[in-house]
Structures are given as C-alpha cells and as structure tokens.
Structure 1
Amino acid sequence: MDDSDDYFQDSFVLDEDDLALLAAEEEKHAQNVSENTRKAEVPPPPSKRQKTCHRDIEEPEIVLQIDGTYGVTASAPSLAIDSEAVLIGTNKNLLEDNSHLSTQILRGEVLSNNSVSYASKSQHAQAISTQISSLSILRSPLPLKTTGMARLSSQNTQSPGSFPPRIIARNEDVTIACESDVHLQEQIAALKAQLENLDREHNQAKNALKEAEVVRFAKEGESNAQANFVERQAAQQHAEDLTKLRQTKEAAEAEQARIQKDMREQMDRLRTEYVFKQHESESSNGKASWSSRSRRIASGPQQSPISIPIGMRNWASSNAAGPSGGYSVRQTPSRRRQNFEGESPKISAGTHSAVPEPKFPGFENSFLQSSPLRSSPHRSTSNLELRNNRTPQKHSRDKGKDNARERGANGPFSPAKIPPLNLRPSLAVAYNNPPTDDFIQDFDGDVVINDGSPRRPFKAVKEGSSPGLDQGDFSSVIDSELICDPDGDILLEDDSFRGIDWNEELHFMLLSHTCKVSETLTLHFLLSATIPSNQYYQQVCSSVLESLGAKFKYPSPEKLMDKVAEGFITMSVILWESKFIKHLNALFDLLCSTMIYIPAFTSSIFQAAINHEVRPHPFLHVLSNIALKSLKSKDDKDVDDAEFSSLIHSMLTLVGTIAWTVPEHLSSCLASMLQTEGVLMTLLDSKQSNDVISHTIQILVLLATHSTLYRPLSSVPNLHLDGQPIKAVSTDLSRVPLLERLSSFLVDASPLKHDENISSILNFFVLLSMASLDGRLALLNSSALVPSLVFYLSHLTTLIWEDDERIMQSPDAATRTVQNMKQTLHLLHQLVFPSSSLNSTEGQNTVNFDFRQKLYHAPHSQFNGLAHMFIVTVGRLSYADPPEWLATELQAEVEKITEPARDLMDLIIEGPESDSVWAAYQDANHGIVTEDDDEMEAHLFATDEPG
C-alpha cells in the first residue's frame, strides 16, 4: 500500500518562491559536495571509448513488470541517448528542483512565457521526471520497483527541505560527469589550439607558395624579356651588318667600275700613243703611209689592230724597187676585197700612173703636174663570217702567181685553214714572194679559240670587221702580241697553243667546287671541320693549302697532284675515324669531280700509297670500312642513317669514277678492296636497299672491264680488313660467293625490280668470260651459274609463249624481255662452246665442258626438273614460231636466236627425241601433221643443209 499511487495526486503546484528556495538549497548542497570531492581527491575514472555517432533522444518505453510495478526496458534501442547530454541536463534540473529535476531545462521557456497554464507545467515536470528515472535505470543493473515520480512526490511531501540519499548519490554522479566534462572541454580546447596552429601553418605555407610563384613568374618574365631583348638586339645588329655589307659591296662595285673605266682609257691612250710612235718611226725610215687611221663601216663593230709580219710589209717595197712582169708602180693601189660564198668581188676602177712614192705619210706632192688619182674603194656593208673548213674564193688578176699561192698553201691564207687572229714575225718567211695583188681577208664573225683546257669550252670571241685598207695602210697596223676586244675588257694572247696548265686547272677545280652537302665551297667546308681530339687534321689541311699556294714550288703538275692527293687521303682517314660523315661525303664528291676533270689525279691517289709502301692502301681501307658498316649504321646512334646512306652512294660513285679513269697498270691496286672478305657480299646483301644493290652491280660491270681484275672478281676473298691474308681459305672454286650471289638474282629477282639490273649482271658474266680462259673456267666451275641461266631463260620464254598479260600490255616490257632472253642465250652458248675470240694457246688448253652433267646433277633443290625446263625452253626457241602479238622487230629478234638454241639442244637430245620436240611444236602451231617418216626426214635434211 505504501507503494501505491492512489494516495498521492499526480499533479502538484510549485510556485516561483518554492522553486527559488529549492534552487538555493541545491546550490549549497552542490558546493558542499564539490568541496568534499576535492578533499577526497578521487581520481577521475578511466577514459572510456566514446561513441562516434549518436541517435536522437526518443521517448523511453515504460512497461508493466511481473510484480505489478512500472519499469523501463534497458535494452530498448530507443534508450540509446547521449549520456553526456542527459547528465548535463539532469545536473541542471536537480539544481532547480528536488522533485522535478528536469524542469530547469525548460526554465528559459517557462520564465519567458508567463501565460503558460498550470496543466502544461505539470506535464513538463512529469516528462522530465520520467527521463531522470530512465537514466537511473540505465545506471543500475536492476529495474526500479516503483516509479520515480511516486517516490519523489512522497519524499517531497514529507520533508520539503531535506534530500533523500538517492538524490545525493545522483548528485555525486553528476559531479563526476561534470569533471569528465571539464576534462573533455580541456581536450577540446587543446585540440582547438592545435587546429589553430595547423591553420596558421597552412596559411604560412600557402603564403610562402604564393611568394615562390611570384618570384618564379618574375624570373621567367625577366628571362623572357632578356631573351626578347637579345633577339631584338641581334636582329638590329644583323640589319646593320647587312647594310654595311651592302654599302661595302656597292662601294667595291663602284670602285671596280671606275678601275675598269680607267683601264679602258689607259688602253686607249696607249693604243693611240703606239699608233703615233709607229707613224713616226715609219716616217723617219722613209716609208709611205697613206692613212693613220682605219676606216670603219658604219654598221660594223670596232676592229682591233692585227699584227702584220715583216714579209708582208716588204711586198710594197719590193714592188716599188723593181716590179716584175711589166707591172708599173701604182701610186694609190686599190685592194680587192676577198669574198666568200661564191660572191663576185667588186673591183674599183682607177688609173695607175708611175709617180714616185710620197715621202710623208698622208701628204701628196702638190707641185706635180697632176695629182695622183686614188680609186675610191668599194666596201660591202654586210659583214662576212669566217667559217671552219670552208675554202674562200680568191680572185686575182695575176695568173702567173699560181706557184706562189701553192707555196703559201700552208700559210695563214690556206683554203683549208682559218687564218689566225695575228701573224707572228716568225712566219714572215712564207710571205717573202707574195702575189702582186695583195689580199687581206675581211671577216666579222665568231672565231672559236680553244686552248685545249677542259674548263674552257669553245668560247666565241667576237671580232670586228677589218677596215678598208689600201696597200699603203699596212704601215698603220700595229704589230703587237696582244689583241683587244672591241670593249677593251679582254686581252687575248697569241693563238699558238702552248699546252694545258694542269696546275692552274687543279687550282680552279679545288677552289671552285661546291657540293650538295654544304652551301659553301667544298674546300672551305672541309677546312671548317673541327676535330678537337685530332690536331693532325688541321696540319694536313694547312699542308694542302700550302701546296696549292706554292704554284712554282713543284717542277711538274704530277708532283703537285701527288702532294694534294696524299693530303686528301689522310683527311679521309681522319674524317672516317672521327665519324664526320657529312664532311667525308663532301670529300668524296670533290674527289669524283677532280678525277673526271683531271684524269691524272686518279694515278696520284694510288701513287701516293705506292711511294710510301703503305699496305693496305689507306684510302681503299676507308672505302672497305664504309662498305662493311653499311648494314650496321642503324645500330650506331652517333651516325645518322640518311647521311650514311648518302655516303654509301658517294663511295660507290667514287669507285666507279676510279674504274673509269684509272690506268691499266694501276688497276690491279683495286684488287685489295675486292679481295677483302665481306666487302662485296655486304653491298649485295638482301637487307640492302634496291638502289644500293643496283649501284653495286653497275660498279661491278665497270670493274670487269679491266682485264687485270678478273681474278679477284671470280675467286674466293682471301684478305682480312687489315690487309693480312686469311690462313684458311676455301679452295672450293664451285662456290665463289660473288658468283653465287649474282646467280641467285637470276633465280629470285625479288630484290631487283628492273630488268636493267639483270642485264648488268649478264654483262658482268660476259666480260668475265671474255677476259681470259681462266675467267671462263671460273664461271663454268660455278655450281649455280649455268643452272641459274637455264632457269632464267625458261622464265623468260614462259612469259612470251604463254601470253603473260603484263608483257602483252607493255611494249617496253616485251622489248626488255626479248633482249634479256637473247643476251642470256648467247651467254649460255658462249660458256658451253669454246669462244673463237681466245687465242690459239688458250684454245688448245680448253677443257671440254659436260653440259649434261650440269643439267641433271644440279646441287640445289630449287633446280629440280631443270632438264625438262631446258628441253621445253630450247624447243620453243628452236622450233616454235614467235607469238603473233609481238612486234615485227621483236619477232625477227626471236627468229635470229634459233641457231644457238639448236646448238644447245643437240648437246642434250638428239635423234628421235629431237624429232619429237619438233613434232610437238608443229602440232601446237599447225595442227596434226599428216606427212610420213620419209617426208619428215627429207624436211630435216633440207633444213640442215644451209647450216
């Protein structure tokens, strides 16, 4: 009954005074409890694991227990509330009211709202007391027997001023919770301080980053500004330099023009002075001169003075002293003009009186009874051209001077020879007895002057028309060794050929050559190569320049060429060792041009090593190294692949130039490079490009033209790269690497896309077979050559007789196919049958060749069925008619090779087998043959008789 709630009212009213009194008492009690707690110095409870998340506070679940009391279920998930919040709220509510400890939580709302009713206040008190009861249940393991509200109500009614023991225990718990709350607050404060420090450090780092970016941007901007300034300054300086160079060039050109003008004026003064001196000397000697100036044709250019030999000058004096043949002395003779092209001469009519010769040039004796009459000369206004190998027609009134003309047939007026521009006094003997009527050839054309120099082409020098000179005008002609052109710019020496100045030609070639590798002169590009680790290169370049500068130091051009060639050889070795590929390419280009321009320079290249007894030849050693490295250039990172490919072609071009220009007695020097192991096989390797293979085959054809090189080209290589002989050399002559490789091209033409390369290979074999008997035997001993020729010939005949569309649609392809077929058949015929070109000694030593054994015992599996292919091929060439789609010329070419094909067939098949082949192709072309055996035999005899 004590626990029954029927004795108490659920609702009671506490006014503000009671609440204030309760609050004051609770504060006192709380102070006492806190002082006792500090004195006891109870250590704080150990820190517990706190929840990281909390659920919202929900209403507690009140249930009716078995004993009839109310309780709160502790395991309900809705009671999972924040313990700290409940403790804090409970502490505050207990300090406000002993019976309803949670009323103070809503105190602010109660105090602020004065219009709240009494019922609402009691409901709030009950709700808070229920929460406190649930909190006490959570702290105690056992559920409460009675409701907290009833006990609290009874205690409050019995003694309002006293606190029950349970309330005191709860206050202690609240105190402990407050202390833990203080500890948590301290930790939070410490964490906040750390957070502030971290924020401060973060802000400092951010500011430092911004400052670093500002500094970096400033530096970049400064560097960009500096670079722009340098570029602008360089551009400005470049523009100023260009302006200065342009001004200097203009000044130099103006100075050059002024000097040329002065030279022309000086030449005119000298010419005039010389003319006056000549006239003075002639006047002092008593010679007559009718005119001191040459008359000019209005339309013709200025005539340069022509030197007249002494003998021609004596003609006039001889006539005056004692004329022969009854001719009287002519006062003013009129010279006929010599005409070409069959024109009739225009003879000026005039009277001739025997008067004494005038003593003063240009004056006549006015005291005589009658002045001498001069016939005015008639000159043609058209200029005549002097041509080579053309006989001018001479018209003369003197018929008794034919013998004199015959004596002068080899002179300057010979009909078969062009007269020279000037006649030396040394030729005057031929003109001591000239004809009475003097002829001076008048010409106005292009005279070809050639001194034999290869760098001076036939240059046409324009000469002016000779003025209309009478006999007395000979004295006004200048006897000089130099001839000036109409403008006075060029001085031409006498026309005698003194030979080619090879020193000058070498200077011109080396100092004016340019190549594709550099935009400057080749020699300047070679001198600009800086090799830090090798100072010897600069010394060699200096020696080459010194040799070119000392023109008269060497007694002969050969000595100068040997010195320059020796320097170029050393430069090539240094450039190759230093991997200066571009400079080495330029040097090869310079050597090629020099060897073609001056063929004697090739001999100097080989003679330089022979004089020093260097083995192997250093220049050929460099060429061999380039050939061996041609497949390994891609693996070398220091070498550009494109530059090295260009170097390979330059090297091959240089070898071809040497093969063209080397003398026969020095061609054997190339054998060391050809006999070096791997040189030719590397260049002909299937990994090489088609251009390199084609270029190499062309070089082999050029090398095969030298009879001294047939042995290294048809034998096994026996030298190392350093020139030392190989100890274990293969003696199997049936497997020569070069012949095997070229024969493989005939069987498998995949590396070669052009028929010209196959034709070059066939030409190479022909040259070797014609070089000597040993060359022919080397080709016959090859195990692959003859089968390859038969295989390739079978391939060509198949293309023609089986109507291949590619051949039928291309006339050029058909022509090349027929030509290669013809060349292959003739080569095979020349190898099998002894050549008539060999001399008798070699013909006696000719070994019979077993052609059948080559066909039926071919070593390679790809030649299986070779005998059958041979019979089909030779049968087509012997008995089958050419296809009708071939051109008429090609059909005639196919018919011409019938006889060689039959000669080869007779070595393999004969008798009935040959008749069967003939019948097979006759059936194929003309249907079934109806003639009997007798007619066939008669037909065969008839066809064999002409052969």
Structure 2
Amino acid sequence: MQREMKEELARLKSELTFKQTEAEAHSLRKPPASARKKQTQASQLPPQTPVGNGRVINSVLLDNPAFRTPMRPPPQVNRYAPSPEVSRKSSLLPGFVNAFDQSRQRRTKPVSKASQPVLNDNPFDVTEGSAERDSSPNPVSNSPPIIQHNDDILMDDLPGVNLDASHNIDQEVEDAESDTSEDHELVSGVPAPQFHCNAELTRIVLTHTYVVGKLPTLQLLVESAASTPDFSSAELFSSSITSILEVLSNTSGNFAYEYSISILTRCLLTILNTLRVNHLIPPMISVLNLLTALLRFFPDFHLSLLSYPESESDNRSKISVLLCQIVIELLDTSTTHNFLDTLSVEVFNLLESLVWNVPQNMVVKLSVFCCNRELPSILFHTAQSHSFLSRSTRFLALLFSYPKMYEYCVTNTTDTTEDGTPLDFSRTLNLDRLCSLLIDVHRDDPDAISMKNHILMFFTAFSLAHSDALNLLASSLVFIPSLITHVAYLSRPIWEEEDAEGFEPQFRPASLTIRALSKTLSLLHHIVFNATPSVNLPDKFLRAHPRAFNGINHNFIVAFGRLSYAAAPDWVDVEERRMMTGMIEMATELLELVVDGPEGDGVWLMYHDGPVDEAMDEGEMEREVIGPDTALCQS
C-alpha cells in the first residue's frame, strides 16, 4: 500500500513539473482576443466521468480531496481560422496520460452571466475585466468554485498544495489578455486613454521652435540670457528659465497641472518683459509665438495669463500691459528695425488669441487696450501698412464683440482734457481716423478692402454694445457722412459698369461688393432710426467737412435713388438680386428723410422707364412702384 502511494506521488510530481514547464513556454504568447474564460456553477456542469488507467486505487484515496489531482488548462495558442469539425489535440507531452483527467463533453445549455460566481480570491481566476461582468454584485456559492475554460477542461481547487508559481504564470496570461483587449477597444472606437496635460505641456514647451528659427525656443532663451547687458536682467532671465525647467521635469499625473500653468505664466511674462526692456526682438518673437501656441492648446492657460496682475498694487493684467508697451515702443511708425513685420504678425496673433472666447468675468482685463490713449494712435496710424491696419482693425472688432467692453472702457478711462474734464471716448478710440480710413478711395488693394470690412464690423459691434455707444456714433460729425460716402462708392460700379467683368479689381468679385454695400446700408439705417435724439440728415450734410465730404448731398441722392428705384442690372444673379431687393426699403426710408414731395417725385422719375402720365397722382405713382395689392392694403 505504501509503495503504491509513493509511486502515485512521484508520478504526480513529475506531471506537475511538466505542466509548469509547458505553461512557462506558452505564457509569452498572447491568446486571441476572442478567447473568453467564463465561470460556471458546479450545478450546471455535466457529470464527471473518470478515465481509468488500469490500476486499482483505493476508494478512500479518491474520496480524500487532499490527494485529488489539480488539472490546469494550458494557455491558448494563436490559431488562425480553426475548423469546428477538427478535434483539438492534447497539449500534454507524448507518453504522459492523466489518470484523473475528466472526459470531454460539450455543454448542452449556455450559462447566463448572472449565475456566474465572482472568484476574486481564486488564484486561478483569469476572467475578463469589469466590462464583462454584471454591474451588480454576484452571489458567491458555498460550494468549491469551479472554472470552465473555453477548451472545456475542468479543475477543482486543491487545498494544501502551494501553487504560487502557477499563480505568477496566470497573472502574465491576464496581462497579455488585457493588452489584447486594449488593442481591440482602440480598433472598436472606444476613446483613447486620458489626455495627460502635464506631459503635453512639457512636450510643447521643450520642442517649440519658431517657424523661421533654427533653435528651439528654450535654447534660444538660454543663449539670450548671456546677451542681456545688465546683471539684474540676466539674473531674472536665469531664474525664470530654471523655474521653467523644474516645472517641466515633473510630468507625472500627481503633480498639480494648475501649479505648472501658474509657474509657467509667471516665468514667461518675466522673460518677455526682460526681452522688451533690452530690445532683444528675435527671442521676443519666439516667446510671443510660444504664448500663442499655449493659448490655443490649453484653455486653462488663457485664464492664468489674464489673471496674472501687473503688480501687487496694480490689478491690471500683466500680459495686456506688456503688449501695449511692445506696440507703443516697437511698432511705432518712427521705429525702424528688420523684424517689424514679423513682430507685428506675432503680436496680433497673440492679441487675437487672448481676446478669443474670454469668460465674462475676465472681460474687464481686456479694457486696458481701449483705455490707453497712445495705443489707438499707433494701431490706426495712416502711415502703417495695409496688412498692419487690417490686423489692427480686426483686433478692435473682436475686442468689442463683448457687449460689456464699452461699459468697462468708459468706467476705466482716466484720460482728461487740459481743464480736467473727462476725455470724450470717441477721441480715445480715434473714431475720426477710422472714418477717414473707411472713405479713402486710394486704399484699394485686398488688405485695404479687408481693413474697411473690419472697420464696418467694429462700428456695428460698437453700436450694439450700448445705447450710449450708438448715440455717440450718431452725434459724430464725420461718422454718418462717412457711411453715406462709402455707400456711394460701393454702389457706383453696380449701375455704371456693363457687367461684373468690367469691375475694377477692388470691386471684384461683385458678390462681395454687394454684400459690403448691404452691411453698410444696414448699419446706417440702424444708427439713423435708433439714435436718441433722432438724426437730422440735412443738418449733418450742412455741418460736414466741405473738403472731405464735398458734394455729399448730390452723392446721397444719386446713390440712394438708385438703390430705391433703379432696377437691378441684368448680370446680377439670383442671390445678389435677393440682397439688392432687401436694400430697397431701407434706402427708400433714408431717402425720404432728405428729399420729399416734388423733389422726391423727380428722383423717382429719373429711374422710371417709359412714358409717365403728367396727370398721374401720388396714389397712382405708389401703385406703380409697389404694386396695386400693397397700395390697397396700406390705404
């Protein structure tokens, strides 16, 4: 009896050794993603049929679980297009037969997930993750847990036998399955892992290189630190770069992203100010470009940059003050350097990124640009290039797209006249210069046309911001005459040219000219009929500057008479004709404010085709113009 037990134990040890060796050999291979290891209860399994090996074994040993052979399935091997009709071969080495292996039978009834026990404490648990389990906790059966794998090999837990090595092998198989599952999730369209802000911030700052530069921005700043003439600037430079490198070295998720942003904001603004003081323009251009990139990639950087104060006693935004100083000192028309165009482009890129989509509680930080009296005189100087003026007027239009901007600017304006009275806000923004740019017919290149469109956008946003802003425009002696002059300028080629091909280059394509005409006419109509007190157009014509607006009364009657009564040219397409039809009513209402009675009838006759009965009364004229049905309804 003892001899038989020793032989059986020796055989079991040999089999377990071969099992572990084979498992280690297959653990490096990933099982297919479709392989699912599911659990089932013992009550739903088919009856176990032991396979005899020709020996007579004592029934007492069979009933004792301590001597029961633990059967562990071999890891799955990648199989391509397996055929269901071909039986699987045994993974055991030839010459070894397990006497306690159970017969292979296929399940006749699928097992539901709700009945599967959760085997968290089982070292052989290789089930799928939480995505494959039910969200509610599953009851655990009191019977010994049994795991059924996809190859239908069954195994019971073996108490009293140390299988730590097998547990390690099983853990490697689980890791391999998780990798395969992640690849499957990416292919199936599941979102990628969470975006690591610190790591991305580090990547952008370390690898940022200006378009025309040859060195990374950080390396350029390190070299520029040695070019600073005074020791204090060099010390500020070095300490700021050191702080940036310390922040960038912490890319772990545990490091506070907000703290990284705040430190980076402080250091970059310190470096930018040092570069401005020492007039180091090439590295300044790179820093401006880096700030623009950070604003576009990280919304949190937007808030951090605007909220950083100028000083402890000055609550203004430091970046706003710095940009104003850069424009005044380095972009003035009297300034000459080789980087003027490049610097202006980067300054406006940063300005537009800064004012784009600002929270309402941070809009007040942008009022610095409007309250500085020196800034508009440089941004809208007539000696600036058309590309510069196009960018500056677009920035102004974006700035006043926030309705609260007018109130903040009026409240925070500190400019006064010589006698101490507050300065008119129209003079602070230099509205008269914008009007002169709008009516300058010699500015006709594409950048100049873009500049004029941006000026109209600004005037529209400014008039809608506040009722006082609208009245401010209406009370100006040059604003309304400028709009009328611009309407006459845009409408002239529509009726004087035979077709769109005859348009001068500044009026091409014709659709853009008609659209600009519609916007200008709508703005003029809005100002005239919504201002308080009401606008007296004949008085505006009398008080207009004779040199700038010579013949404005005649130009008004001709332009608005065409828009009101003249038929659209034949070459105008359907969409453009629809826009011109929408302008008829507005032009007629404005025309009737200046000419009425017999003079108005004369304007109508000028653009009316065919003979007209002298005895035709006013009612018949109205029916002739707007149709009998409409005239009947009005009467």
Q: Same fold (TM over 0.5)?
A: yes
Aligned residue number for residue 272 of structure 2: 572
Aligned residue number for residue 587 of structure 1: 287
1:533 aligns with 2:225: no
Structure 1 unaligned regions, length at least 5: 1-278, 295-301, 323-331, 333-344, 352-357, 376-395, 409-421, 434-467, 835-845
* Deviation digits for residues 206-230 of structure 1 (CA, Å, limit 9, x no counterpart): xxxxxxxxxxxxxxxxxxxxxxxxx
* Deviation digits for residues 816-862 of structure 1 (CA, Å, limit 9, x no counterpart): 2111111111111222234xxxxxxxxxxx72422425533333112
Contact 1:307 1:479 in 2 (8 A): no
Question: TM-score, length-normalised on structure 2?
Answer: 0.70
Aligned residue number for residue 432 of structure 2: 740
1:608 aligns with 2:291: no
For residues 906 and 945 of structure 1, the distance between their equivalents in structure 2, rounded to whole angstroms, comes to 21
1:825 aligns with 2:517: no
Q: CA deviation at 1:644?
A: 3.0
Aligned residue number for residue 860 of structure 1: 545
For residues 907 and 660 of structure 1, the distance between their equivalents in structure 2, rounded to whole angstroms, comes to 40
What amino acid does structure 2 have at the position aligned with 1:579? H
Q: CA deviation at 1:893?
A: 2.2
Going from structure 1 to structure 2, the CA distance change for 1:592 and 1:621 (only over 3 Å counts) comes to same
For residues 808 and 643 of structure 1, the distance between their equivalents in structure 2, rounded to whole angstroms, comes to 40
1:764 aligns with 2:449: no
1:314 aligns to what SS in structure 2?
strand
For residues 646 and 562 of structure 1, the distance between their equivalents in structure 2, rounded to whole angstroms, comes to 28
Q: CA deviation at 1:751?
A: 3.9
Aligned residue number for residue 611 of structure 2: 928
1:890 aligns with 2:576: yes
What amino acid does structure 2 have at the position aligned with 1:313? K
Q: Which of these residues, 481, 485, 493, is aligned with residue 787 of structure 1?
A: 481
Contact 1:874 1:901 in 2 (8 A): yes
Going from structure 1 to structure 2, the CA distance change for 1:359 and 1:869 (only over 3 Å counts) comes to closer
Aligned residue number for residue 502 of structure 2: 808
1:666 aligns to what SS in structure 2?
helix
1:348-359 equivalences in 2 (<5 Å): 348=84
1:774 aligns with 2:468: yes
Q: CA deviation at 1:349?
A: 7.0
For residues 411 and 100 of structure 2, the distance between their equivalents in structure 1, rounded to whole angstroms, comes to 102
Going from structure 1 to structure 2, the CA distance change for 1:304 and 1:920 (only over 3 Å counts) comes to farther
Contact 2:495 2:569 in 1 (8 A): yes
For residues 422 and 415 of structure 2, the distance between their equivalents in structure 1, rounded to whole angstroms, comes to 12
Aligned residue number for residue 692 of structure 1: 388
| Residue-pair matches, total | 533
Contact 1:829 1:900 in 2 (8 A): yes
Question: TM-score, length-normalised on structure 1?
Answer: 0.49
For residues 619 and 552 of structure 1, the distance between their equivalents in structure 2, rounded to whole angstroms, comes to 29
* Deviation digits for residues 844-899 of structure 1 (CA, Å, limit 9, x no counterpart): xx724224255333331122432332222222112111112333432232122212
1:528 aligns to what SS in structure 2?
helix
Aligned residue number for residue 219 of structure 2: 524
* Deviation digits for residues 300-344 of structure 1 (CA, Å, limit 9, x no counterpart): xx96665989xx62147564179xxxxxxxxx9xxxxxxxxxxxx
Contact 1:759 1:820 in 2 (8 A): yes
Aligned residue number for residue 710 of structure 1: 406
Going from structure 1 to structure 2, the CA distance change for 1:628 and 1:644 (only over 3 Å counts) comes to same
2:572 aligns to what SS in structure 1?
coil
1:15-414 equivalences in 2 (<5 Å): 313-315=38-40, 319-320=44-45, 348=84, 372=104
Aligned residue number for residue 513 of structure 1: 208
1:712-731 equivalences in 2 (<5 Å): 718=414, 728=420, 731=423
What amino acid does structure 1 have at the position aligned with 2:518? K
Q: Which of these residues, 352, 357, 366, is aligned with residue 670 of structure 1?
A: 366
For residues 508 and 82 of structure 2, the distance between their equivalents in structure 1, rounded to whole angstroms, comes to 62
For residues 917 and 473 of structure 1, the distance between their equivalents in structure 2, rounded to whole angstroms, comes to 102
Aligned residue number for residue 5 of structure 2: none
For residues 574 and 367 of structure 1, the distance between their equivalents in structure 2, rounded to whole angstroms, comes to 83
For residues 469 and 546 of structure 1, the distance between their equivalents in structure 2, rounded to whole angstroms, comes to 52
1:420-435 equivalences in 2 (<5 Å): 423-425=128-130, 428-430=133-135
Specify the structure having the higher radius of gyration (Cα): 1
Q: CA deviation at 1:581?
A: 0.8
What amino acid does structure 1 have at the position aligned with 2:610? G
Contact 1:786 1:854 in 2 (8 A): no
Going from structure 1 to structure 2, the CA distance change for 1:280 and 1:649 (only over 3 Å counts) comes to farther
1:597 aligns with 2:280: no
Q: CA deviation at 1:791?
A: 0.8
Q: CA deviation at 1:501?
A: 2.8
1:919 aligns with 2:605: yes
What amino acid does structure 2 have at the position aligned with 1:825? L
Aligned residue number for residue 628 of structure 1: 328
For residues 244 and 39 of structure 2, the distance between their equivalents in structure 1, rounded to whole angstroms, comes to 55
For residues 315 and 525 of structure 2, the distance between their equivalents in structure 1, rounded to whole angstroms, comes to 42
Q: CA deviation at 1:481?
A: 8.1
For residues 419 and 459 of structure 2, the distance between their equivalents in structure 1, rounded to whole angstroms, comes to 29
Aligned residue number for residue 377 of structure 2: 681
Aligned residue number for residue 556 of structure 1: 256
Q: CA deviation at 1:714?
A: 8.1
* Deviation digits for residues 111-164 of structure 1 (CA, Å, limit 9, x no counterpart): xxxxxxxxxxxxxxxxxxxxxxxxxxxxxxxxxxxxxxxxxxxxxxxxxxxxxx
Structure 2 unaligned regions, length at least 5: 1-14, 48-72, 74-80, 117-126, 139-148, 156-169
Contact 1:631 1:688 in 2 (8 A): no
Q: CA deviation at 1:558?
A: 1.6
Going from structure 1 to structure 2, the CA distance change for 1:773 and 1:303 (only over 3 Å counts) comes to farther
For residues 883 and 713 of structure 1, the distance between their equivalents in structure 2, rounded to whole angstroms, comes to 46
Going from structure 1 to structure 2, the CA distance change for 1:770 and 1:716 (only over 3 Å counts) comes to same
Q: CA deviation at 1:790?
A: 0.8
Contact 1:675 1:716 in 2 (8 A): yes
For residues 508 and 307 of structure 1, the distance between their equivalents in structure 2, rounded to whole angstroms, comes to 37
For residues 852 and 663 of structure 1, the distance between their equivalents in structure 2, rounded to whole angstroms, comes to 40
* Deviation digits for residues 785-804 of structure 1 (CA, Å, limit 9, x no counterpart): 21111110011111211117
For residues 782 and 817 of structure 1, the distance between their equivalents in structure 2, rounded to whole angstroms, comes to 26
Q: Which has the bigger relative contact order, CA under 8 A and spacing at least 6?
A: 2
Aligned residue number for residue 121 of structure 1: none
Say what the alpha-carbon RMSD is for the aligned residues. Answer: 4.9
For residues 376 and 261 of structure 2, the distance between their equivalents in structure 1, rounded to whole angstroms, comes to 30
Going from structure 1 to structure 2, the CA distance change for 1:813 and 1:739 (only over 3 Å counts) comes to same
What amino acid does structure 2 have at the position aligned with 1:849? S
Q: CA deviation at 1:740?
A: 1.4
Going from structure 1 to structure 2, the CA distance change for 1:891 and 1:633 (only over 3 Å counts) comes to closer
What amino acid does structure 1 have at the position aligned with 2:476? S
For residues 409 and 153 of structure 2, the distance between their equivalents in structure 1, rounded to whole angstroms, comes to 75
